[in-house]
Chains A and B, each alone.
Chain A
Amino acid sequence: MADLSSSFAGITSPNPFWLASAPPTNSAYQVNKAFEYGWGGAVWKTIGAPVLNACNRYGGFEHGGHKLVAINNVELISDRPLDANLREITEVKALWPDRAVIVSAMVESSPEAWRDIVRRIEDTGADGIELNYGCPHGMSERGMGSAVGQVPEYCTMITGWVAEAASIPVIVKLTPNVTDIVPPARAALAGGADAVSLINTINSIVGVDLDTFEIRPNVGGKGGHGGFAGPAVRPIALHMLSAVASDPTFAEGGLPISGIGGVQTWRDAAEFLLLGASNVQVCTAVMHYGFRIIEDLVDGLSNWLDAKGASAVRDIVGVSVPRISPFGDFDLSFKSVARIDETSCIQCNLCYVACDEGAHQCIDLTVDGARIDPATLADGVTPQPKVREGDCVGCDLCSLVCPVDGCITMVSVATDRPKVTWNDLVRDRSEVTTDWDAMLAYREENGIDIH
């Protein structure tokens, strides 16, 4: 059985699953319960400046009858008194020496305020500090949260204050509400952080009530942007993770990354690990289903690691990062076409309409092998979709809309063309990349016929 234990910036935990700083880590009651269920660590809900919350705080994003594909919130940092939080953190850490207890903090942007909070956090016996530079609502208007995370210079400066004062590891939590997440990550590195975590929530308005015209979540008739989290944000988080993980400057610093953003299952976690996260943090899935999901997170990840022959979590961290590539380095001679397995096809014809109207017109409806016009189809005749492989551009849309597992597969087909990338063309045949006639001549010369 694979070793699931984790050491993140020197902070150890029995597994790589931490609860993210959020409502599930608001109290000793909750964190104790989570640890009883088996969570490896918890980042305490952000403590710091005094706040007063509003309600309603959450808005749900539903799709296709599935509740909470994402959640939007306008909840602030902990609204419990600082002393109460610090006392409970001390108790929890004393009870659970083998678990990671991290304290998220956010105070006004002064060296004194940060030094004070660092001292008080260290007094609890906590294993690390996470700097909340990501909260996009409520706190940012007060010059905290994402107001810091969005300005790399502030990020470096404040991280510097904390790193200087702290003897325990400092994790900087990055906001996704930037055009490029790499500069803030480099700024954290420059400020002396021991690790980064990403992503925090994404600015969003989750919806408008079509009966009342109110914004969701509705706060007494008003609403505004909040933080978006949950399964729907995962692809964005994976992109930002891969951008930081594959940045050479950041990589030189050797800081570990804690992956956050819509992790609901062990499969999601495995994707974060493959793209360079050393552990993951979970929030929305717990808000939806409770702490009990840890059982499958651990069990599923363990079984998958075993199936892949990995002896420990660290074996798979970052394994897919080298595959992240700019478009200019893609092999343009790689060719794939769609193939429909007619024995499992249920003739829903979704591939046909997707290809015909939404893509490149390479699938026909056929009866006894002959192409037919669906408008003149006789009753009682069920047509069979067929790919014209010679025309198929390999876009993959048909297999994405196909409801039957394994019915449409994309198969790679050999071409006699040598590997060539766009960057190769820019370097060796620059006229092809700037002039349409040259491009058409190049295609002719290489036998590239685009249907």
Chain B
Amino acid sequence: MPETELTLEQLRDRFSETYPPYTAHEAAVEAGRCLYCFDAPCIRACPTGIDVPTFIRKIQTGNVLGAATTILESNLMGHSCGRVCPVDELCVGACVLGAEHRPIAIGRLQRYATDAFYQGGHTPFEAPPDSGKRVAVVGAGPAGLSCAGELARLGIRATVLEKEEHPGGLSTYGIVVLREPIRVSLEEVELVRRLGVDVQTGVRVGEDVTADELLASYDAVFLAAGTGSVPDLDIPGEDLTGVTEALSFIAATKLAEKDGLERLLDLPVGERVVVIGAGNTAIDAATVARRLGAQTVTIAYRRGDSEMPAYDFEVAFVRNEGVDFRLLAQPVEVLGEGGKVTGLRCVRMELGEPGDDGRRRVTPVPDSEFVLPCDQVIKAIGQSKLEPLFRAFRVDTERGYVKVDARLQTSNPKVFAGGDCVRLTGHALTVTAAQDGKIAAASIAAALGVPVGEGELPRGVSRSGAGRAGTHHSGAFAPPRSAPHAAAKGVGDG
């Protein structure tokens, strides 16, 4: 058992947002530092093309509602993105003040604006007349919600079908509360609903409604189903008590925030925990384990330091939480006694030449097995692909991901797709999912013959479906330009 039971106050302290919200004065001072660059690089570094200098200037003038509207015009998921975007790799990384090592805290300011907006319960956009067209969206994560909301802004009614109890996808279930409280994603869902979108939860496409039924009753379908459950490790001992997977572990903390923090005390946490994988889900799970009282938490990862999918700032954060890393360690068996986990047997790995994805290959070192003693093993090794679902929609796939063109259309002309289910390369970010939703909405409108004025096109989307000046955005696949290493890092673990 971990340390003595945590009090409610301790839980609140350990499971609330890392950064406090800005006060009005803090926001005004930080906004006042923004140079209001002409043709600012931060705009270009944002995958959704948010007009950053304009929204910051609006904060400075006290027009916070206008600031939030500027953000949401480009990104309906801006409430989440202000919190979870790897801003150092995106807008903040491009800030010209980085030259003197004090770039503007764009994420914090964005959060300040959207927090004020959502507290007021505003609806930022007027819905145009109903075009009569109907679109089904599979999955209520950021890509699905962004697409449905953008369609609503074009007069196309969308119905979003979500298999989970709550909408919001990974924003609701998969991002640790320290970075994004659950209310944030739920508020985002409510905004999309106010725009006229029908969001239905607890509906499994393929069971409660078939793909063919959707294809028959809607003018188009947007697949934004994300990824499936965490796959098995396929090693002996995986069924022992004490082996769990990271996403449900993180989800429990999210729901506890909503349903009562004392629920966290029911979450089984070991004294010595090993997390397998080194993506951001692994980081979040390791953080949760530590904060729930685990004495030691070790992240075991089969590749090396520079192959870790997590961002440097995440690795630094979790090291600061007291989490250890055991790199080049491939789990081969979960050891147990009396049906309970007692350790994780690993084999040491050796780095070799880079593979096709640019990451160095690893091979086991003979006779190098060792045991990490532990009483809990948390799997964070990426998610499985939803291939049966994709087959039901008769769309081509590649390595388990839906194949799309630059306009996010699949091989089935009636079906478009975006978000993590098409994220074959590049980081699977909330902001790229939101941009996919925008691109898909514009493409769907064009395919359905719904007029889209150039001025009404989402930012960063031109009529041809290509990006600004037609020079990038090879669909949703282009990695953020200011994150050159992002392309080299894969999705999840590998």
Contact = CB atoms under 8 A, between A and B. Distances in A.
Contact of A379 (B28, B40, B472): B472
B472 to A, nearest CB: 5
A350 B37 contact: yes
B471 A347 contact: no
B93 interface: no
B25 interface: yes
A374 interface: yes
B38 A349 contact: yes
Main secondary structure of the interface of A (DSSP, over half): loop
A383 B44 CA distance: 13
A377 B37 contact: no
Contacts of B96: 346-348
Given A65-B29, A65-B60, A379-B467, A350 B35 contact: yes
Contact of A377 (B36, B39, B472): B39
A311 interface: no
B32 interface: yes
A64 B472 CA distance: 37
Interface in B1-55: 25, 28-29, 31-32, 35-41, 44
A347 B40 CA distance: 9
Contacts of B25: 65
Main secondary structure of the interface of B (DSSP, over half): helix
Contacts of B36: 350
A337 B60 CA distance: 33
Interface in B438-494: 467-469, 471-472, 481
B471 A352 contact: no
A346 B99 contact: yes
Interface string A341-368: 0000011111011000000000001000
A383 B40 CA distance: 11
B116 interface: no
A66 B32 CA distance: 9
Contacts of B44: 379-380
Contacts of A348: 35, 37-38, 40, 96
Given A64-B32, A380-B44, A349 B37 contact: yes
A377 B472 CA distance: 12
Contacts of A53: none
A160 to B, nearest CB: 51
B97 interface: yes
A383 B467 CA distance: 19
Given A64-B32, A65-B31, A346-B97, A380 B38 contact: no
Interface in A308-360: 346-350, 352-353
A66 to B, nearest CB: 8
Contacts of A65: 25, 28-29, 31-32, 60
A339 B38 CA distance: 19
A415 interface: no
A348 B40 CA distance: 7
A374 B468 CA distance: 12
A340 to B, nearest CB: 14
A65 B30 CA distance: 8
A353 B38 contact: yes
B38 A352 contact: yes
Nearest to A403: B35
B471 A380 contact: yes
B37 A378 contact: no
A349 B32 contact: no
A215 B36 CA distance: 31
Nearest to B481: A380
B37 A380 contact: no
A430 interface: no
Given A346-B99, A379-B44, A374 B481 contact: no
Interface in B229-261: none
A303 interface: no
Interface of A: 64-66, 346-350, 352-353, 365, 374, 376-380, 382-383, 403-404
30 contacts: A64-B28, A64-B32, A65-B28, A65-B29, A65-B60, A346-B96, A346-B97, A347-B37, A348-B35, A348-B40, A348-B96, A349-B37, A349-B38, A349-B39, A350-B35, A350-B36, A352-B38, A365-B39, A374-B38, A376-B469, A377-B39, A378-B471, A379-B44, A379-B469, A379-B481, A380-B471, A380-B472, A382-B41, A403-B97, A404-B99
9 closest Cβ pairs, A-B complex: A65-B29, A353-B38, A349-B38, A64-B32, A346-B96, A65-B28, A65-B32, A348-B37, A378-B471
Given A348-B96, A374-B39, A379-B471, 5 more contacts: A346-B97, A348-B35, A365-B39, A379-B472, A380-B44
